[in-house]
Structure 1
Amino acid sequence: MFKFSKRELGDLTIAFVALTICFEIATAGMNVNGIISSLPIVIVGVVIGSISHELGHKFTAIKYGCDAEFKLWPLGLLLGLVTSFFGFVFASPGSIHIHPEYVSDEVSGRIFIAGPMVNMVLAIMLIVIAALIYPLNGHSSFFHLIYLICTIGFSVNSYLATFNLFPIYSLDGTKVLKWNAKIWIVAIVISGIMMLMSITIGAENMVKLFLVL
C-alpha cells in the first residue's frame, strides 16, 4: 500500500524546506530582494524534483513487494547549508530505507535508479516546455514565470539526478553500480551532460540554441 508515515512526512518536510534554503543561498546569496523574488521558483523546482525522486523510489519498491521509508540525515543537510555559501549545493538530506533490508542487487538497483531517472525525465520535460513557451516569454508575466520555473527546474533536476548517481556512501549510485555498471555509466553520463550544460551554457541559452537548431 502506497502511504507515508507521520515521521516520514515530517522528515520530507524538513528536507524540502532545508533544500529550498540551500538553493536560495546558492543562487541569490544574501540578497534579500533576490531571495524573495526567486523563492516561488526555487520552491517549485526543488519540491517537484525532491518529491518525485522519493516517490520514484517508493513506487518501484512497492512494485517489487517492498516497503520504503524516507529518513532524514541531518549531517547531509548541514553539508548542503555550508556548501551553499560557496555558490553550489552538495547535500544529501536523507535516503530511502527498504524493508526488508536485504533484497537482490537487481531489485535494489532498480529501486534506487528510479529516483534519478524520474529527475532526468522531469529535466527533459521542463526544458522542452521552456522551449515551447519561449516565444510567449516576453508577452506575459505568467508565461515568464512558467518559463523561469522550467529553466530552473531543468537545472535542479539535472543536479539531483547526477548527484544521487555518485557511487559514494549511501547515495543511489552505489546500489545501481553494484547491480549493473553499464546502466550506471549510461545514466550518470546523460545526467552529467545535462547538469554541465546547465552550469556552463545555462538553461536559458540552451533553449535559444534549441530554437535556432
Structure 2
Amino acid sequence: MVEYTRNEIRDLIISFIVLSICFTISTVKMNFYGAISILPIVTVGVGIGFMLRELAQKFVAIKYGYNAEFKMWPLGLLITFISSLLGFVLAFVGSIKIDEDDVPDEIKGRTAVAGPMANMALALLFIVIATLIYPLKIHSSVFNLIFLINTVGFSVNSFLAAFNLLPLWTLDGLNVFKWDVKIWIVTFVLACIMLVLATIIGAEKMVVMLIGI
C-alpha cells in the first residue's frame, strides 16, 4: 500500500501548483486574462502527469522494499518560476527520495525510469482521447474543451518525460543512465520523438493526421 506523509502531501501540492502556474506563464507570458483562461486546462495535464509520475516512482521503490518520499526543492522551484518568465520551463520542482543509504544503481534506475515512462504512457492516452473526441468538438463547447485539455496534456507530458530523462543534476535521466545506458537511450529517444511531434507538428495536426490514416 502506498502511503504519504503530511510533509510529502504538502510538498506535492506546492510543487503541483508552482508547476501548473509556470507552464501557464510560459505559454501566455504575463497576459493575466490569458493565464486565467488557460490555467485550468494546463492544470489537468500537469496535475495528472506530475502525480502519476511521482506515484509510479514511489510504487517501484516500495515494490523493491525501500521507503520513498517526494521532497520538493525550494531552489528548484525558484529556478522553475524564473525560467517560465523567459518562455520555457526548467521543471526542477523536486523528486522521489529513497531513505536508505547504499541503494543499488539498478533500484535507483528502475525507480527513476518509471516516472518518464508514466508520462509517455499518459501522453499517448491523451492523444488517443483527443483523436476520438476530435469529430465531436465542432458540435459542443464541452467536447471542444475536452479536446483542448487532451492536446495540452499530450504536449505537457511529452515535455516532462523528455526533460526528466536528461542525464543531468537531480533529474531521473542521470540515475537511468548510470544503471543501463541502453535503456536510457531507448526511453530518451522515444520521449524526444514525442516532444518533437508535440512542438513541431503540434497535437491538433497530429490528430488530423491520425484520423486521415
TM-score (norm 2): 0.97
Residues 87-106 of structure 1: pairs in structure 2 closer than 5 A = 87-106=87-106
CA distance in 1, matches of 2:101, 2:149: 37
Partner of residue 142, structure 1: 142
Q: What letter is aligned with 1:170?
A: T
CA distance in 1, matches of 2:102, 2:173: 17
**Any runs of at least 4 consecutive aligned residues in structure 1 with deviations exceeding 2 A, and if so which?**
none
Partner of residue 34, structure 1: 34
Q: What letter is aligned with 1:163?
A: F
Tell me how many residue pairs correspond in the alignment: 213
CA distance in 2, matches of 1:47, 1:16: 6
Residues 1-213 of structure 1: pairs in structure 2 closer than 5 A = 1-213=1-213
CA distance in 1, matches of 2:21, 2:168: 24
Secondary structure of the 1:139 match is coil
Report deviation, 1:103.
Answer: 1.8
Report deviation, 1:70.
Answer: 0.6
Q: What letter is aligned with 1:198?
A: A
Identity of aligned residues (%): 55
Report deviation, 1:171.
Answer: 0.8
Secondary structure of the 2:7 match is helix
Q: What letter is aligned with 1:81?
A: F
CA distance in 2, matches of 1:85, 1:103: 37
Of 195-204 and 111-120, deviating more is 195-204
Of 49-58 and 30-39, deviating more is 30-39
Q: What letter is aligned with 1:144?
A: N
TM-score (norm 1): 0.97
Secondary structure of the 1:138 match is coil
CA distance in 1, matches of 2:27, 2:85: 9
Report deviation, 1:148.
Answer: 0.6
CA distance in 2, matches of 1:101, 1:14: 27
**Residues 142-179 of structure 1, C-alpha deviations (whole Å, 9 max, x = no match):** 11111111100001100111111010111111111111
Report deviation, 1:210.
Answer: 1.2
Uncovered stretches (5+) of structure 1, i.e. residues with no partner: none
CA distance in 1, matches of 2:39, 2:99: 36
CA distance in 2, matches of 1:101, 1:112: 16
CA distance in 2, matches of 1:187, 1:5: 31
User: What RMSD over aligned residues (CA atoms) do the two structures have, in Å?
Assistant: 1.0
Uncovered stretches (5+) of structure 2, i.e. residues with no partner: none
**Residues 101-147 of structure 1, C-alpha deviations (whole Å, 9 max, x = no match):** 32221111111100000000000111011011100011111111111
Secondary structure of the 2:96 match is strand
Report deviation, 1:205.
Answer: 1.1
Secondary structure of the 2:97 match is strand
CA distance in 1, matches of 2:28, 2:71: 29
CA distance in 2, matches of 1:4, 1:102: 23
